[in-house]
Structure 1
């Protein structure tokens, strides 16, 4: 039994985890509210912009129902700053030995990234039970996850990378996929235009996607 905080319960709240890049801080709260209203409460704010951590802080403080986390965590220092900002989970695109060591001491759930069976097995040995499969489509897609379900039945995945409304159902039909990550529900043009109604509508459609029975 893993002693690490598990992200399973929170990731199972909706079939899609929006992967959000926030360029302007004033977009953070209305964007998060639109996602929550559409039925996607779990929000991954990627640490790719100068305002990302402050965006996490604002969403955590001001958006009721939002479960906000920090994504694109690639170094140890980002863990502490994400915790200070109020992140409730962390996501990494991959894992280095130093990052893994830090993750095993992190008090909030982590979805550590993997792209192969060997990486997944190593993460499982350390107690991680829900992994980010990234980049999903270039790394074998749904066919890869289907093939590892037999030898690695205890692992669950949140695939991200190249996933949209056209292929998300293929992933969500798999019993080892708890959710998919995607940016199609937060199109950059809609955000720049302040069209958060469009974001809400896309989130509503995504929230209606069906998952395997284990996570229904």
Structure 2
């Protein structure tokens, strides 16, 4: 079932409004998938982005998709094959570092709402021209961070963003205070040392603190 850019943006806006932070997850062991997702959801972060950066990422998505209350998406979508594999694994939305016509065509044809990446006004305008008004701003800090998003928001107030890349507990509130930011992506809520040692209670506490950002 296909999806229009407008419908994809509307769905991703709904997803982004569920919590101020979307955990960006790089998971190396499938055994960690369920308890990690459960800890993050309990902590108030139901939207989970599993990046396709490890050999087990698709299996991780399959496991996390079984967790009640979670909304699991696939990150680092770059090729059409990435998209079809992510949907087959149960991803409910996709995230890409940038955007190509081929990637957008594939997501629209297969019905996957894509949070496409943009790092400049021109890239954002091209996506808006196609019908996308809910975008990922990446890499956020390297692309100018809060000042850039604030500046872009003046001439392009109809576009909303989820900044990702360099977002941390120290600057997340500044991003979330901008009128054109709906949520932000961050990896600090699931640090590898806590994941590898199975310290789910500590991850839940990090998630709970992140869920209160911007309030």
1:89 corresponds to = 93
Question: Contact between 2:76 and 2:96, CA under 8 Å: does it hold in 1?
Answer: yes
Structure 1 residue 130 displacement after superposition: 1.0
Aligned equivalent of 2:206, options 189, 202, 207: 202
1:167 corresponds to = 171
CA RMSD of aligned residues (A): 1.3
1:126 corresponds to = 130
TM value normalised by structure 1: 0.94
Superposition map of 1:113-192 within 5 A: 113-192=117-196
| Unmatched segments (≥5 aa) in structure 2 | none
2:7 corresponds to = 4
Q: Deviations over 1:168-211 (max 9, x none)?
A: 01100000000000000000000011111111000000000115
Aligned equivalent of 2:111, options 102, 107, 113: 107
Question: Contact between 1:171 and 1:177, CA under 8 Å: does it hold in 2?
Answer: yes
Q: Deviations over 1:82-136 (max 9, x none)?
A: 1111100000011123212223334132100111100000011111121111100
Superposition map of 1:23-34 within 5 A: 23-34=28-39
Q: Distance in 2 between matches of 1:153 and 1:163?
A: 22
TM value normalised by structure 2: 0.94
